[in-house]
Structure 1
Amino acid sequence: MESAPGASKIEFDGVTTVLGDEPVLHRLRLSVPDGQVTVILGQSGCGKTTLLRHLVGLLPPTGGSVRLDGRDVWSLTSAELVSARGGIAAVLGGSHPFDSWLFSSMNVYENVACVLRRAGATDDEVHATTAPLMQEFGLAAFAGSFPEEIPAHARRRVLLAQALVSGMPLIVLDDVDTAFDSRYTGAIVRAIKSVNEKARATVLITTHDLDFAREVAHEVAVLWNGKIVSHGPPDVLLRGVRTGEEFGRRFFRSDLAGPLCRDVVEGGLRGGEPARRFFAIDPDLPVWCVVALLLLVIVFVFWSSAGTVFGGS
């Protein structure tokens, strides 16, 4: 797919994050193609939301850079950051400023429509865009209700609808699998694809839902132990992976060094020296892997000894 005029390009370069005493990300690198749907796939608590907060200017990384359209987000002035955020529609997990996008004084319909009204759309244009999407998302029955009167999962779908009708060049959707029940998965996949194809927006999504990632993504990046260990088209990257257990087995092999160590992460931040990742046998490493490694060492030692003996005779 060719890049789209106006679509946003994202670069994470050597991003390292330590929150309190906990290392979260370590020298993470990822280029997000503009005008495509990219899914960051990873288990709960692996740092997906943290990475998106770096991108939208809510949380500075400990090290590295986050570039949006070639500009380091964390080198922008306050005014430039406000301007950059003006081109982002975001739905993030947890507590954050974007929660205020659901206005308690507006009903559900007006909450979805407000981004279009701010852009100068007429009532007819607003209705033509908003009503079909609300119907697809199971929100039509709540159109006249206020946010506090509807279930939490429905409020998340309102935020998703709001982001998808916004027309922004960058749409950031965090933990999408927690935002809707299975009845609306297909509708949300179709809506994301439609926005990407028609507006050629860059869409960056985080999830741990394998099926959803397969359905919606052009590219999948796997976040594991604080870094991207693999990325590529979902039909290649996730071939034969159907369960969380299979996902863990496949991508565990991409990072045999195991979970992050705080000393290693902080060592990489001092003096600009590359961090050394000391090899250690991870306690979760399958027994047969350990046995195979030991056998290789024994064979190597024997072969070296034999070569010395034969060479000296």
Structure 2
Amino acid sequence: MSQTIFAPWDDPNEKPLIQFKGVTKRFGDFTAIDNLNIDIFEREFFALLGPSGCGKTTLMRMLAGFENPTSGSILLAGQDIVPVPPNKRAVNMMFQSYALFPHLSVWDNIAFGLRRGNASKDEIADRVEEMLRLTRLSKFAKRKPHQISGGQRQRVALARSLAKAPKLLLLDEPLGALDAKLRQDTQFELMDIQEKTGTTFVIVTHDQEEAMTVASRVAVMDEGRLIQVATPSVIYEAPETVYVADFIGDVNIIEGTASQSGDKVEITWAEGEMPIRGTTAKTFAPGQTCHFAIRPEKVTITTERPDSANMLQGRVIDIAYLGNLSTYHVKLPNGTMMKAQTANTRRLANRGITWEDDVWLSFTDTAGVLLER
């Protein structure tokens, strides 16, 4: 049986679960969200990504009902939720601090929201047990929050948020307090839980790796506007602007002027240097300023002159050894710094390139992306 790819945003018959329509939010003179339109679909794991102050948390607080838009509407399953108070929305929010009750056990923390509804004792018990199983916390049920680890507290907060079966779960920097290794494990747990429950997750993060790992789609934001909304692979391989290319992952960006023939472009970028050759579906006017963005892993570094569409000569200034990868910082004759990355498949002693070596950097004409702005 072939697995169908989850891409409801490409299906014209799919109705979005959440719709922001022309939403603007002002605080006095400051515009936090600027005429924003966005569709989020059922069962999506949607990430809002951007630097501090870009508006992502404001967006989430409007979904939760803690803020109201200055203008525009927010629909959940076709209903305008702006007039609906937070406790009446089919939405739950998990805070950065987890906000667990220190005097209650793990079991009682999870049961807390259910007890305020009109569920029977048995229904509450069944639901709590189900949540404990889902988050693998059954053996910690009687412990208090201070008796368990940060990662486990994070799972308690998640179990409590999911207990009332919200249509939508909002996660505000949920893994911010965890160390790197635990963060990674927890990201996969989150994805697993999201898949099992079928709840729509919207996560706010400034950690690009996190967004790329967990999300079905990522919205890159800046100054209250959406810059690009796409799947992680499209954001990484086909960014639409220099801002997105630069925000996600490591990248070399070279500015120059374009001369185009069909889908082939030559970029004049430095005196005495060969033009860079690229391929693009976009159209550039003769002499138009353009930016060539190329990821370091797509740049090959050699001591011998290669045979390639693009060849640049330079000198190794720095080497960042990251265990599985090494990133070489190479200075070109005009002072431009370029990064090239190699996988460390061999032991350190067997590698042939070191500081101050003269090297060649090469890449194909399809390895980079041409951007207008």
Shorter-chain TM range is: 0.5 to 0.7
Aligned partners of 2:36 and 2:136: how far apart in 1? 37
Which residue identity lines up with residue 145 of structure 1 in the other structure?
K
Query: Taking structure 1 as reference, are residues 131 and 247 closer, same or farther at Cα in structure 2, changes over 3 Å only?
Result: farther
Find the counterpart in structure 2 of residue 18 from structure 1. Answer: 26
C-alpha contact (below 8 Å) 1:13/1:30 kept by paired residues: yes
Which residues of 2 match residues 1-313 of structure 1 at below 5 A? Answer: 1=6, 9-74=17-82, 76=83, 78=85, 82-84=87-89, 87-93=90-96, 99=99, 102-115=100-113, 121=123, 123=125, 126-130=128-132, 133-135=135-137, 140=140, 144-146=143-145, 155-239=153-237, 248=243, 250=245
Consecutive unaligned residues of structure 2, counting only runs of 5 or more, are 1-5, 9-14, 248-252, 258-266, 268-283, 289-373
Aligned residues: 245
C-alpha contact (below 8 Å) 2:95/2:172 kept by paired residues: yes
C-alpha contact (below 8 Å) 1:8/1:201 kept by paired residues: no
**Aligned to 1:194, what secondary structure does the other structure show?**
helix
Aligned partners of 2:29 and 2:151: how far apart in 1? 33
After superposing the two structures, state which structure 1 stretch, 163-172 or 62-71, moved more.
163-172
After superposing the two structures, state which structure 1 stretch, 174-183 or 55-64, moved more.
174-183
Q: Greater share of helix residues, 1 or 2? A: 1
| TM-score normalised to structure 2 length | 0.54
Query: Taking structure 1 as reference, are residues 21 and 158 closer, same or farther at Cα in structure 2, changes over 3 Å only?
Result: farther
C-alpha contact (below 8 Å) 2:169/2:201 kept by paired residues: yes
**Aligned to 1:176, what secondary structure does the other structure show?**
coil
Percent identity reads 28
Q: Based on CA coordinates, which of the two structures has the bigger radius of gyration?
A: 2
Q: State the Cα distance separating 1:193 from its structure 2 match.
A: 2.2
Query: Taking structure 1 as reference, are residues 126 and 288 closer, same or farther at Cα in structure 2, changes over 3 Å only?
Result: closer
Q: Greater share of strand residues, 1 or 2? A: 2
| TM-score normalised to structure 1 length | 0.63
Aligned partners of 1:77 and 1:43: how far apart in 2? 30
Aligned partners of 1:152 and 1:171: how far apart in 2? 20
Q: State the Cα distance separating 1:29 from its structure 2 match.
A: 1.3
Aligned partners of 1:122 and 1:72: how far apart in 2? 30
Q: Return the structure number with greater relative CO, CA threshold 8 A, min gap 6.
A: 1
Query: Taking structure 1 as reference, are residues 146 and 201 closer, same or farther at Cα in structure 2, changes over 3 Å only?
Result: closer
Query: Taking structure 1 as reference, are residues 24 and 151 closer, same or farther at Cα in structure 2, changes over 3 Å only?
Result: farther
C-alpha contact (below 8 Å) 1:41/1:220 kept by paired residues: yes
What is the root-mean-square deviation of aligned Cα atoms in Å? 4.1
